[in-house]
Amino acid sequence: MNRRRSRPSTVAIVAAAVGAVLLIVSPFLVWGKVEADLGILSATVSSTGIDSGYGWITVALGLAVAGLGIAWWIGLPRVAAVSGWLVLAVGAAALSVYELTQVRDCALDLFDECVATPTFGPGLFVALAGAAVTVVAAVSAWVKPRTTA
C-alpha cells in the first residue's frame, strides 16, 4: 500500500526553530527596568524574565515548540504539530502581554511627583516576536506541507 504522509516544510521548521530560540532566549534578557530619581539619590533596577519567575514558563514553551518540530519530523501528524504550535504561541503571547501590563505608568509617586519610572525591557518584545514567528510556522505548515511516498 502506497501511503503519502506530510513531511515538515522547510519554512515551517526554520520558523519553528527561530520561534523556539526567541522564546528560550527572551527570559534571560531584561523584561523591565525602574529608574528612580530622588534628587540627591538616583538608581536603576532591572529585572529579567528569570527574576520574575514567569521566564521559566517561556523557556518551557520554547522547548515545547522545538520538540513539536522534532516530533513532526519523525512522524507526528501535521495537524498535531500545527495545533500545538498555535496553542504554545497563544500561551507565550498571553504571558508576554500579561507581563507588559504589570509595568505601571509610575512605580513610585511621592507628593504627586513621579520619582520612579518603569520602562519595558527588550526581553518581553523578543518573547512576543517568538510567539509571532511560531504562528508563522504553524500557518506555513498548514498551508504548504510536503508529501512523501
For residue range 113-130, list pLDDT tens digits in order.
666 778 888 999 999 999
What is the distance between the alpha carbons of residues 72 and 142, in angstroms, rounded to a whole number? 13
Domain definitions of the chain by residue range: 7-32+50-104+122-141
The alpha-helical segments, DSSP class H, found in 2-54 are 10-25, 49-52
What are 9-58's pLDDT values in tens digits? 889 999 999 999 999 999 999 988 888 777 777 788 888 889 878 899 99
pLDDT band of residue 135 (cuts 50, 70, 90) is very high
What is the distance between the alpha carbons of residues 90 and 38, in angstroms, rounded to a whole number? 40
Residue owning grid cell 515551517: 12
* Percent above pLDDT 90 for the chain: 52
Q: What is the mean pLDDT of the chain?
A: 85
What is the distance between the alpha carbons of residues 140 and 117, in angstroms, rounded to a whole number? 41
Question: Radius of gyration over alpha carbons of the chain, in Å?
Answer: 20
What is the distance between the alpha carbons of residues 39 and 45, in angstroms, rounded to a whole number? 17
Q: Choose the weakest-confidence range: 21-25, 71-75, 87-91, 101-105.
A: 101-105
What is the distance between the alpha carbons of residues 85 and 62, in angstroms, rounded to a whole number? 10
Residue 80 pLDDT exceeds 80: yes
